[in-house]
Amino acid sequence: MGKIVVNLDVVMAKRKIAAGDLAERVGITPANLSILKNNKAKAIRFSTLEEICRVLQCQPGDILEYRDE
């Protein structure tokens, strides 16, 4: 069975943005951002994904990856 992997930390590193800054600019709590970064999230709102992509100037596919295991 495959799974969705969140590569948010990779994109954040490329953009040189700290977690606290991203959370503030996106409008989510640092705790929720941490859940996303650590692949613990079960879901993400499209509105949150849109804001992350806007702030990081990336595409959803840069953040989300499907891995067949």
Q: How confident is residue 50, by pLDDT bands cut at 50, 70 and 90?
A: very high
pLDDT of residue 1: 84
pLDDT in tens, 13-47: 999 999 999 999 999 999 999 999 999 999 999 99
Question: Does pLDDT of 2 surpass 90?
Answer: no
Contacts 24+ apart (CB under 8 A), 34-37: 36/6, 36/8, 37/6, 37/8, 37/9, 37/12
pLDDT of residue 43: 94
